[in-house]
Structure 1
């Protein structure tokens, strides 16, 4: 009997001990701190907002010039147009050989974007200093030149985001450029017949005009640091046909062998029209704010 009482007492002690430790463990588990998952890292760039940056690249294109021969004015001592000289209206357009142009360019851009889901849209402006130019022989023995000093545009942009920091976009809008055309050549003629005849001189003329046209382009932009992105972009510019008046001066001298050389000085003013198309490809960096 006493033994049974001792066993019952031992059983109570064991059960009480187990219950005590179970309660303590449960309390410890309930008191364990809650660990929150780390917040996702913020994106490298927010496409909504303004940005400013710079870009460099190269450009190429063509320029086609036509002379309006009938309205060409020949200065003193002639002082008449070609039409007046031939006694008729001959507004003949003479196409000159096409000039291939190429060169480096670089400048700045700025804009503002709005983002809605994966869609990004906004407006952008570019200003590029240009070294795009070319030369070709034309009009018998003359050289024809074309060059573009600067290009500017205002465009709308629309694109879609790709992955964590990519953007593929297209753009289009209005464009302006400072474009110039020129004609130049120097010459010297000497007779081999012993007459003493010799002539030399130079022809030189240039005209420039701020021209207006349109542009279309596409590009890829990628965020590589917080607030910074890099891009590569292609653009096509079409400035249509432009009219300008080209003054050309011809100066020199003629020696017939029987006296002092006689000076030559004559001015020619001719209406011309030219059609210019350009292509550019640039790489650039933008800072977003």
Structure 2
């Protein structure tokens, strides 16, 4: 009898020890088909109006010629700072279109003495009106932009002559959403204003003008 009880007790202990290991090896059941799927993270919302400011650097190129002064270049560079406003609209999950206008102060001037004639060329502001098309990756957008531009152009010496000229502009950049209402950008614009004739103090100069702008900016989105 003692031998039987000992055998039963030993069998019970072995079963108690082996059961957890055997249970761990059993295949798990199918997941609950009615369990809620994980909620995807909310996408950044780009659609809406915005306004902001920019700060950068611009450099203008002028290839000129005139009677008595010959062919010469007066290239200038300086600060570019301004404001912008626009509207974005998401056309598809990753594609955006928009419109933007900006006005910038442009501290550009250059002095020279072609043919011995004291000459100064300058431009004090530039404004662009552009369409934008962007590819959106959550909080980052890569975009291209283009439209038309206007800027002042002034030549002076013994006298002065100035115009407000119209041209075209192309560029691109990258913009990131820092919060639901704030974005930051870095962009480049090229603007071409064609050729214009200036008459100042008895000197006549025909000059083209194109401008390159590299700048960074921030925007507040409504």
TM interval, short-chain normalised:
0.7 to 0.9
Determine the structure 2 residue equivalent to 1:279. 212
- Size of the aligned set, in residue pairs, is 188
User: Contact conserved, 1:97 with 1:136, CA < 8 A, in 2?
Assistant: no
1:121-149 per-residue CA deviation (whole Å, 9 max, x = no partner) reads 11111110110222222122x33221111
Determine the structure 2 residue equivalent to 1:206. 160
Determine the structure 2 residue equivalent to 1:154. 129
Determine the structure 1 residue equivalent to 2:190. 236
User: Contact conserved, 1:53 with 1:285, CA < 8 A, in 2?
Assistant: yes
Q: Larger radius of gyration, structure 1 or 2?
A: 1
C-alpha RMSD of the superposition: 2.0
Matches within 5 A, 1:1-289: 39-43=39-43, 45-68=44-67, 95-115=70-90, 116-140=92-116, 142-162=117-137, 164-183=138-157, 204-246=158-200, 248=201, 268=202, 270-289=203-222
Long gaps (5+) in structure 2:
1-33
Task: State how far apart, in whole Å, the 2-side matches of 1:66 and 1:60 are.
Answer: 20
Secondary structure of the corresponding residue to residue 97 of structure 1:
strand
Task: State how far apart, in whole Å, the 2-side matches of 1:119 and 1:224 are.
Answer: 19
Secondary structure of the corresponding residue to residue 61 of structure 2:
strand
With normalisation by structure 1, the TM-score equals: 0.61
User: Contact conserved, 1:219 with 1:232, CA < 8 A, in 2?
Assistant: yes
With normalisation by structure 2, the TM-score equals: 0.78
Long gaps (5+) in structure 1:
1-33, 70-93, 184-203, 249-267
User: Contact conserved, 2:160 with 2:199, CA < 8 A, in 1?
Assistant: no
